[in-house]
Amino acid sequence: MKNNWLLIPFVLLALVSCNSGGDSDLRDQARESLENQTVVSPGAQGAMAAQTDEVSGPVTAITFESKKFDFGTAESGDKVKNVFKFTNTGDEPLVISNVKPSCGCTTPSWPKEPIAPGESGEIEAIFDTSGKSGAQTKSITVTANTDPSSSILILEGTVNK
């Protein structure tokens, strides 16, 4: 009991120090993001990085053959693969700047070079079912010079143990 009383000053000091200094920068960035309609997301080492939902430069259009893939039933440990095919249906070169899965169990790959108007490309997604069971839905966010700037692709199905 006596040792607990000795810890109280250290806990209070830790709580007070958490609310000073660097947090004001984070609050300022968050406030600015609300005013400028940007999205604030965690960056490297806990810092906040502002990402705008607006596209700079010329925009184009992307059309997917299908944005949803139902893999049916897979066994835990299987790697489910799908290729999402798309076409640049706009008038400007399509530049895919990022493809981000909803979790680390899904690995995407995509073309890094611009796709000319009228040309097609593919985004490959591999879902590792290891350690998963039951109904699964995984999303992949594709960010490009389109309006809107992001498209959501879905992998879904059931994983048996």
What pLDDT is recorded for position 2?
A: 52
Summarize pLDDT for 16-65 with one digit per residue, the tens.
333 334 444 434 444 343 344 333 333 333 433 344 445 567 899 999 99
Summarize pLDDT for 98-144 with one digit per residue, the tens.
999 999 999 999 999 999 999 999 999 999 999 999 999 999 999 99
- Sketch out the chain's domains with CATH numbers: 2-52 (no CATH), 62-160 (2.60.40.10)
Percent of the chain that is helix, strand, coil (3-state, to 5):
20, 45, 30
Residue with the bigger pLDDT between 120 and 161: it is: 120
What pLDDT is recorded for position 57?
A: 73
Candidates 87, 142, 143, 144; CA nearest to 116 is: 87
Residue 145: helix, strand or coil by DSSP? coil
Cα 87 to chain centroid, rounded: 22
Question: Rounded to whole angstroms, how far apart are CA atoms 116 and 76?
Answer: 39
Candidates 55, 80, 83; CA nearest to 137 is: 80
